[in-house]
Amino acid sequence: MESLPESPLRLATPAAWTAAVMADFDAFLQDHAAAEKKASGMAISMLSHYPDRVELVAAMAELAVEELTHYREVVKWIHRRGLLTAADRKDHYVLALRDAIRKGPELYLLDRLLTASIIEARGAERFALVAGALPAGALKKFYRSIARSEQRHYELFLQLAGVYLDAAMIARRWDELLDIEAGIVAALPIRAALH
């Protein structure tokens, strides 16, 4: 695996996942493109939902552009391989994490930020695994770069939580959500997709 700062995740992705991705890299690329597009949309949703949160709006505007740039780059790899982008599929991992988001203004904001952080941390881990499995070259460099971006995004969402919410509340919920995420990942089927 490519070296990244220590991950908060409580369950490591199994080697079988990396093997599945490498066995059907075309399918993985198509799923990766969809994930980047959805991430850009999520950032726009966040800034639309919280127009009065100056730091959040500024950060999400930057993130939306960065994620869409990643989408554009993945699409270029897809087209270079003579493929077309595919229709989006439901991401059961993200949907299961969203089910953990609580209602109530502060709770909802906290859970949205923390689940987004965890999703980015999982992306950092998995893209680093992909980079580690790829042969030397431009695609390997691309996935190293994507893994580093996901790491920054994971940290960004945690920092934003700290701007708006109490540290003890964040720590308690972070602990709970990391356990929930580990359970979700343990139940995921192994396939050539990000999640």
What pLDDT shows up at residue 166? 96
pLDDT along the chain (195 residues), means of 10: 71 97 98 97 97 98 98 98 93 96 96 98 98 98 98 97 97 98 97 96
- Tally Cβ neighbours within 10 Å of residue 8: 17
E strand or H helix at 167: helix 167-187
Q: How many helices (H) and strands (E) does the chain have?
A: 7, 0
What pLDDT shows up at residue 1? 43
What pLDDT shows up at residue 2? 45
What is the CATH topology of the domain spanning 15-187?
Ferritin (1.20.1260)
What pLDDT shows up at residue 5? 59
What pLDDT shows up at residue 111? 98
Q: Which of 186, 36, 166 is nearest to 113 (CA)?
A: 166
**Which two three-digit tokens encode residue 162?**
């700290």
- Tally Cβ neighbours within 10 Å of residue 69: 13
pTM of the predicted model as reported, rounded to 2 decimal places: 0.96
Q: How many residues does the structure list for the chain? A: 195
Distance of CA 53 to the CA centre of its chain: 22
What pLDDT shows up at residue 33? 98
Backbone Cα Rg of the chain? 16
Domain borders along the chain are 15-187
What pLDDT shows up at residue 6? 81
What pLDDT shows up at residue 38? 97
